[in-house]
Structure 1
Amino acid sequence: MPVKVSVVVPVYNPGVYIEDCITSLLAQSLPPDAYEVIFVDDGSTDDTPARLDAVAAAEPRVTVVHQENSGWSGRPRNVGIAAARGEYVMFVDNDDYLGDEALERMYDYGVANGADVVVGKMAGKGRGVPVELFRRNHPRATVENAPLIDSLTPHKMFRRAFLDDIGLRFPEGRRRLEDHVFVTEAYLRAANVSVLGDYVCYYHVRRDDASNAGFQRFDPGGYFKNLREALDVVERYTEPGPLRDRLFRRWLRVEMVERMRARRLLALPADYRRELFEEMHQVVVERFGPGVAAGLQPTQQVIAALITAGRYDDVEAFAEWEAGIALTAVPEGVAWENGTLRVAFSAEYTSAAEPMTFAAGAAPAPLDGPPEDLAAAIAWVGADTAARFDRATADLLVRERASAAQYFQPVEFTRQEVAAGDDGRVRLVLRATAAVDPATLTRAGVWDALVRVRLGGWTKECRLGPAPRSARPHPSAALAGDHVVLPYWTSPHAHLALDVDRTTGRLGLGTLTPDDVTTSGGRLRLPLPLHVPRDGAEVSLRLTSSRGTHELPAGLTPQVSGALLEAALPLGDLRGATWRVALGVPGPRFLALPFVLRAGVGGVHAVRAPGPSALRRLVRRARRRLGTVVGRTATRLRARAGRR
């Protein structure tokens, strides 16, 4: 079989962090002979070379290239391209990993759309990744019709013939932003770029020790020298005008303005902040015309104007004000409707923990040069935010806690100006209702609900909650599609989360009693505290005794306060025994119900399930006491060792 994809992984001293990468690459859904993995060891000094050689010896699809250290990732990636045999080349960093179907989905999507570049949805585990780019699939994306320029990391799939035809390779040596130069040229010269947004292909991981190359403090002079090379690529392949300004805006916004904002700036040492600022000032003055900053959000425009004017002290003062601004999102309703979770909420910004207020009736005015002082900057931002309130948006995302995979949910919202006193000022509040589709909850685990608001110069996210206890809705669990989904409020912060296919004790089944069960006419009927869609759901019952096991098909039909479980009982097979009962739900899992069925000549009757025997209770008590004794002994030993 021809090789469809060559995965190139530059490697340098990853330690244990490479294990997830290796595991994910060997677990791909593509047939093993349809892809290859090329590890390029860039002079590692830990035990990684031996580890990779062992993998290659056991896996024909794995190749390892050893070379002297080159200083950065450019040369290892180029060596991998030269060794690649695949139709497409995929770049993966040694501390990241792929979704199980990433290569297959990206390859098929690229071939179907004739793509030179395929960008797969990313999830950031402790790292920032583009969000808006992956709101939906873009089969034919360009830098003009999609926010491609937001994603300049190399973790994409490139058609090998395309790279060869245009002679595109990574800049080599000890340098930064080599991926910006490579990816920007690929975007601008590709016949087509396809963005796959409905499956998480790439997991971008921040190491526990934060030793990823991208987290290391850089030399400002060298960094912004390399940044100029990315700007050179844009100038080479675009004409002066709105498109070039829009592309340049990405570097002004991400690499300069955002580094000078709020806590991100204030967390840096004072001398380093100033050094960064001076280098930024030089780039802005040299390379950017007025059209670049004009398209920024209001707060970003203020900072860009201050950088251009060389006013560092005012940038710092503005950052101190911005550091007090946060987003709050209050749940106002959570309820199931025909298999969909309807989540109502309101959201607004706060400043210094109080709702932000704005002058009503403000008219938008362009920023004509840098503001005179901090008060003038704050006043202009406030007036512009209020004047453009009609552009504010609210979204709800669900994010899987372990993997950071996240998905936008359909949402409807309204904008409301709420009087904030007698002085004519108002609060800007967004009221929204989202429809959470359980089909987007692609794996078992805990999914957090996050609200994302774009208002004025800010795009912020926060967890949904807390709600006042008196107003906190408590929806039941639901059987929705192939999942059991339980909405709940986290402790102690009372944020909304969804437990998918894991919980057993919190479904409310323990509240059932034998009196709830009817068995007339050879059918078992039982109301359950579970929501099901309008057309019901198919489940099963498992009956177990010393005489064997019966698994029975069962159905759930919706009721006002839950669902009615019904199943036909094989009466002849049940007589003369006591049967434990469990409910079979998607997973597949069986959840024990708190009653047993006793079958005799007079029929089948439900009685309370017996509790644990006295011996079993004694064993549990002994285990708890033994654990306490062991823990106390260990504490005393540690204390003695410390005194020595």
Structure 2
Amino acid sequence: MPYLVECLASVEAQTIDPARLEVIAVDDGSTDGSGECLEEFAARAPMAVTVIRQENSGGPSGPRNVGLGKAKGRYVFFLDADDRLGPEALERMVAMGDENGTDVVLGKVEGVNRVAPKSMWGKTLGRTDVFSSNIKFTLSAQKLFRRALLDEHGMRFDESLFTGEDALFTMEAYLRAGGVSVLADYPCYYLVGRDDGKHVTKTGSYTLRFDSARALMKLIADMVPAGPKRDTLMVRPYLITLLPQFGPKFLTDDEEVRRHKFELAKPLMEAYWTPGVARGLKVHERLRLHLVAMQRPELLPDVVKFVKSKKQAAAILEKRGTRVYLVYPHFRSKAAGVPDDIYRAEPREARVFHGYREAAANTFLRRALRKVRRTLRARGFGTAAA
């Protein structure tokens, strides 16, 4: 409360036939009148409503699992009590899943007093997957899931995780799904920022973030063989979950916390950090995680301070403009010993610099052709007649 009132109003306003919809509301030990609000909604709502009231479980996984165990519909959708749906959300998402035979449907998310993910909403996609789209950057539970997929694989939320349980669940669904749909042309879900700022993802000890990263990395490693595809997915937990632990907050951490963070990160870097993952990051992101991998906490603050200042790193162009190095702290410092490749910008980051020339994919063939031409000229071919 009071967000629950608008949440329920958005359910009641759904354009899908109420006879096709069942609502399972789990009151997880609330003390603010939410339970009574749910009972009142159940009494007046035009669709079937089941209210389950239980002792507080300490996190979102337990009540979601209880609700999932009671669900009878072909699809399930997880709606958080402080968010709300667009009026046509369920009708459009169900139609999308039915039309394309997909197992997961993502409806466009918009933030209200809160930042929402954006990179995956560029285009509506009837059928895609986690490797060929940006859906790996939205792993919240607010998706439409085909219940048969979840039942077939016995999928449930991990109740041992306080945060990141939805990322684990959704990534597994993406990987097991027989196709994923993206509905990008209609705002299906409004992610509401609470006035008190008490979102689960913003609270709790830093150790919980490492637990979340560890679980997601293990899931990816267990389900995807080593190689480019695994690297593509591993970018997500490194970038979204692990890297923030070595951002501005690191500057205010005491020495014991800094040391502990490096200790927690060490096995994750040893197990899953690869050149392929590193190439999927921007230079300053790669540099920070490289220092974590190399266990060099003394070098990290200078980099974090530079990034926090939002200064543009100077660019050095070499190899006739085909290589761009960004001069972040410790670049070509003998004492630091960080390899040049860590500072080398990938094409997507290098293109903004004047003078950069993207090396052609057929560079080898061009070199061979130039060699042939030089040989022919040396033998007198291809020269103008006297």
**TM-score bin, normalised by smaller chain:** 0.7 to 0.9
SS of equivalent residue, structure 2 residue 299: helix
SS of equivalent residue, structure 2 residue 95: helix
Asked if residue 212 in structure 1 is aligned to residue 199 in structure 2, the reply is yes
Q: How far apart in 1 are the matches of 2:276 and 2:32?
A: 49
2:294 is aligned with what amino acid? A
Q: Cα offset for 1:175?
A: 3.0
Query: What is the aligned-residue identity percentage?
Result: 35
SS of equivalent residue, structure 2 residue 298: helix
SS of equivalent residue, structure 1 residue 40: strand
User: Contact 2:287–2:342 at 8 Å: present in 1 too?
Assistant: no
- Correspondence for 2:305: 320
Q: How far apart in 2 are the matches of 1:156 and 1:146?
A: 16
Counterpart pick for 2:67 among 73, 80, 98: 80
Counterpart pick for 1:167 among 138, 141, 154: 154
Q: How far apart in 1 are the matches of 2:77 and 2:347?
A: 45
Counterpart pick for 2:167 among 152, 175, 180: 180
Counterpart pick for 2:28 among 33, 36, 42: 42
Cα RMSD over matched residues? Answer: 3.1
Q: How far apart in 1 are the matches of 2:150 and 2:346?
A: 47
Q: How far apart in 1 are the matches of 2:13 and 2:323?
A: 54
Q: 1:75 to 1:277 in 2, by over 3 A?
A: same
5+ long unaligned stretches in structure 2: 357-386
Q: Cα offset for 1:366?
A: 8.6
What pairs with 1:245-284 in structure 2 (closer than 5 Å)? Answer: 245-261=231-247, 263=248, 265-266=250-251, 272=257, 274-284=259-269
- Correspondence for 1:143: 130
- Correspondence for 1:629: none
SS of equivalent residue, structure 1 residue 134: coil
Q: How far apart in 1 are the matches of 2:308 and 2:92?
A: 41
User: Contact 2:161–2:211 at 8 Å: present in 1 too?
Assistant: no
Counterpart pick for 1:242 among 225, 228, 234: 228
1:225 is aligned with what amino acid? D
Q: 1:25 to 1:310 in 2, by over 3 A?
A: same
Asked if residue 68 in structure 1 is aligned to residue 55 in structure 2, the reply is yes
- Correspondence for 1:300: 285
What pairs with 1:190-201 in structure 2 (closer than 5 Å)? Answer: 190-201=177-188
Q: 1:390 to 1:181 in 2, by over 3 A?
A: closer
- Correspondence for 1:31: 17
User: Contact 1:298–1:381 at 8 Å: present in 2 too?
Assistant: no
1:50 is aligned with what amino acid? E
Cα displacement string for residues 156-181 of structure 1 (whole angstroms, at most 9, x for unaligned residues): 00011121122211122453321122
1:19 is aligned with what amino acid? V
Q: Cα offset for 1:86?
A: 1.6
2:289 is aligned with what amino acid? A
Give the number of equivalent residue pairs.
350
- Correspondence for 1:123: 110
SS of equivalent residue, structure 1 residue 86: coil
Q: 1:272 to 1:125 in 2, by over 3 A?
A: farther
Q: Cα offset for 1:34?
A: 2.2
1:281 is aligned with what amino acid? K
5+ long unaligned stretches in structure 1: 1-14, 326-350, 393-415, 418-425, 429-644
Q: 1:53 to 1:305 in 2, by over 3 A?
A: same
What pairs with 1:549-588 in structure 2 (closer than 5 Å)? Answer: none
User: Contact 2:216–2:237 at 8 Å: present in 1 too?
Assistant: no
Cα displacement string for residues 296-334 of structure 1 (whole angstroms, at most 9, x for unaligned residues): 222211111111011223222111111222xxxxxxxxx
Cα displacement string for residues 5-33 of structure 1 (whole angstroms, at most 9, x for unaligned residues): xxxxxxxxxx2121221111111111222
Q: How far apart in 1 are the matches of 2:343 and 2:50?
A: 60
Larger RCO, structures 1/2 (Cα 8 Å, 6+ apart): 2
Q: How far apart in 2 are the matches of 1:46 and 1:24?
A: 20
Q: How far apart in 1 are the matches of 2:91 and 2:127?
A: 19
- Correspondence for 2:361: none
Q: How far apart in 1 are the matches of 2:222 and 2:195?
A: 40
What pairs with 1:502-517 in structure 2 (closer than 5 Å)? Answer: none
User: Contact 1:149–1:247 at 8 Å: present in 2 too?
Assistant: yes
Cα displacement string for residues 340-367 of structure 1 (whole angstroms, at most 9, x for unaligned residues): xxxxxxxxxxx3xxx7754456542799
Q: 1:119 to 1:388 in 2, by over 3 A?
A: closer
Q: How far apart in 2 are the matches of 1:219 and 1:258?
A: 10
- Correspondence for 2:296: 311
User: Contact 1:71–1:173 at 8 Å: present in 2 too?
Assistant: no
Q: TM-score, normalised by structure 2?
A: 0.81
SS of equivalent residue, structure 2 residue 101: coil
- Correspondence for 2:369: none
Q: How far apart in 1 are the matches of 2:124 and 2:315?
A: 37
Q: Which has the higher helix share?
A: 2
Asked if residue 364 in structure 1 is aligned to residue 323 in structure 2, the reply is yes
User: Contact 1:314–1:373 at 8 Å: present in 2 too?
Assistant: no
Q: How far apart in 2 are the matches of 1:171 and 1:359?
A: 47
- Correspondence for 2:363: none
1:293 is aligned with what amino acid? A
Q: Cα offset for 1:270?
A: 6.8
What pairs with 1:487-636 in structure 2 (closer than 5 Å)? Answer: none
Q: 1:286 to 1:207 in 2, by over 3 A?
A: same
- Correspondence for 1:530: none
Q: Cα offset for 1:229?
A: 2.3
Q: TM-score, normalised by structure 1?
A: 0.50
